[in-house]
């Protein structure tokens, strides 16, 4: 039976791939998408989530808008230079016929968690503001999360938005600290495993050729390819969020070690850094399963194969 899944996201190019990957995976049942500020402003992340679901023929999945800003300090900048001003690499997907869910994201998520007879996996692939608010406002609901898979942070590779910090954690450091210091069963999928996981142009061409959904997904990646060449020196795109969703779909696909994680919430150059204690395995109830190893080739092949499958006819 498919496991219930929620994706908390700020689409964003790689967020769009992550949503499509979940929809292509029979192991999970995407029950809800919640949106948050991050790559672009909240109104755009919400609209983008609706349009991506519509692209895949899944406008039935509710989209609930969440936090429009971080908990304490305003996010210094968005990531339009990476994802395009509207967040999807300049691609104008058709509008969805479905409106956003009327409930705030935290309420929608709490109600789903409390009503679900089985544990729900939450893949948080944007700033962690919504999850931190859930912990504060609906702690009984938060306690029912079966597994929280977070795309964020770094154990040893440094940052991508600053020398120290990964973007999602940096965008709301206080929220990230609240989550990583909680007792939620959390997996941290950080830059240590995402940066080596590169989707090359050959892989993109494979799902682009599968049909209209794959072709649009490939078009969205155009600007990301240009950014990857200049920022990472790679002939492909780093699939940060899709790798986290892969771990949500196939638990254990990444090699993890339980570590204590603290987020730098100061206002200096280290703000947003995830300080991961790699001296020993932790037995603390607040320890985080930090992803430290990945079979990048297998992860990319999984993503490409699943995205190509979205355009296959459903057996009658």
Give me the CATH number covering residue 243: 3.90.245.10
- Domain presence at residue 229: yes
Res. 39 pLDDT band, cuts 50 70 90: confident
Is residue 316 domain-resident?
no
CA distances for 80 relative to 44, 70, 90, 100, angstroms: 11, 18, 10, 23
Average pLDDT on 117-127 reads 97
Nearest to 248, CA basis, from 219, 285, 213, 289: 289
What is the pLDDT, as a whole number, of residue 86? 59
First-last CA distance in the chain: 21
Average pLDDT, the chain: 93
Does residue 278 belong to any structural domain of this protein? yes
Give the pLDDT score at 80: 55
**Radius of gyration from C-alpha coordinates of the chain:** 18
In this prediction, residue 88 carries a pLDDT of 82
Contacts of 305 (CB under 8 A, 6+ apart): none
Q: Is residue 249 scored above 90 in pLDDT?
A: yes
User: Is there a domain that residue 56 lies in?
Assistant: yes
Whether residue 207 is contained in a domain is answered as yes
Q: How many structural domains comprise the chain?
A: 1
Q: Is the pLDDT of residue 220 over 60?
A: yes
**Residue 31 binned pLDDT confidence (cut-offs 50, 70, 90):** very high
> Which residues are known catalytic residues?
240
49 assigned to some structural domain: yes
Q: Is residue 218 part of a domain?
A: yes
- Closest alpha carbon to 71 in 2, 171, 4, 198: 171
Pick the closest to residue 52 from 72, 26, 33 (CA basis).
Answer: 33
Q: Quote the percentage of the chain above a pLDDT of 90.
A: 85
Q: Residues 115, 244, 75, CA angle at the centre, nearest 5°?
A: 90
Residue 81 has pLDDT above 70, yes or no: no
Domain extent for 146: 3-309
> Shortest CA distance to 8 belongs to which of 40, 24, 30, 28?
30
314 falls within a domain:
no
């Amino acid at each position: 039976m498919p496991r219930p899944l929620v994706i908390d996201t700020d689409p964003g190019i790689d967020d769009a791939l992550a949503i499509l990957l979940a929809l292509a995976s029979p192991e999970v049942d995407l029950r809800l998408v919640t949106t948050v500020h991050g790559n672009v402003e909240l109104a755009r992340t919400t609209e983008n989530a609706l349009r991506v679901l519509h692209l895949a023929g899944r406008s039935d999945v509710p989209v609930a808008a969440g936090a429009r800003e971080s908990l304490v300090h305003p996010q210094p900048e968005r990531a339009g230079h990476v994802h395009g001003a509207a967040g999807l690499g300049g691609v104008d997907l058709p509008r969805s016929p479905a409106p956003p869910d009327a409930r705030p994201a935290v309420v929608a998520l709490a109600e789903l968690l409390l009503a679900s007879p089985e544990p729900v996996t939450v893949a948080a692939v944007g700033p962690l503001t919504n999850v931190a608010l859930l912990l504060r406002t609906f702690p009984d609901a938060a306690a029912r999360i079966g597994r929280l898979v977070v795309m964020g942070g770094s154990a040893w590779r440094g940052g991508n938005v600053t020398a120290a910090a990964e973007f999602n954690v940096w965008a709301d450091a206080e929220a990230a600290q609240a989550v990583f210091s909680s007792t939620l069963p959390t997996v941290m999928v950080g830059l240590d495993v995402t940066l080596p996981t590169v989707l090359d142009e050959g892989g993109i061409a494979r799902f682009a050729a599968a049909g209209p959904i794959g072709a649009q997904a490939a078009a969205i990646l155009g600007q990301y390819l240009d950014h990857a060449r200049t920022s990472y020196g790679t002939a492909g795109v780093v699939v940060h969020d899709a790798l986290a969703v892969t771990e949500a779909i196939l638990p254990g696909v990444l090699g993890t070690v339980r570590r204590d994680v603290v987020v730098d919430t100061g206002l200096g150059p280290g703000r947003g850094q995830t300080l991961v204690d790699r001296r020993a395995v932790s037995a603390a109830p607040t320890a985080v399963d930090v992803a430290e190893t990945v079979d990048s080739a297998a992860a990319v092949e999984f993503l490409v194969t699943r995205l190509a499958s979205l355009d296959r006819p459903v057996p009658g």
